[in-house]
Amino acid sequence: MRSLLRLLAALLLLSALLTLAPGARALASRSAPATVAAAQEIPEPAVTVPPPDESEPEPEWTFRYLVPATVLLGLVAVVVTVVQYFVRVVRTRYRVVK
């Protein structure tokens, strides 16, 4: 029991570390905020560039295929677990006496 608690605590600590590490790295790498120049200091651009088209980007292949597949596998696992519980536990719970 004691080793199970240690394992659970280690897994919890590891998951917290893996979750918080990228955010801490991004927070540390932020530079100082840029200063805003006064309106008279900004020169007029030589060439005006039109704004980009507001078209919807195509989702990544991981989002298109892996996410639905993972959700479907999770759903199948839950259904199989419920059926297995019914077959092993609920079915043997009551016996009909003749």
Per-residue pLDDT of the chain (98 residues; tens, 9 = 90+): 788 788 888 888 888 877 877 776 666 666 555 566 566 777 887 888 888 888 887 878 888 899 899 999 999 999 999 999 998 988 788 777 88
pTM: 0.39
- C-alpha distances (whole Å) from 49 to each of 43, 45, 53, 75, 88 are 15, 9, 12, 49, 69
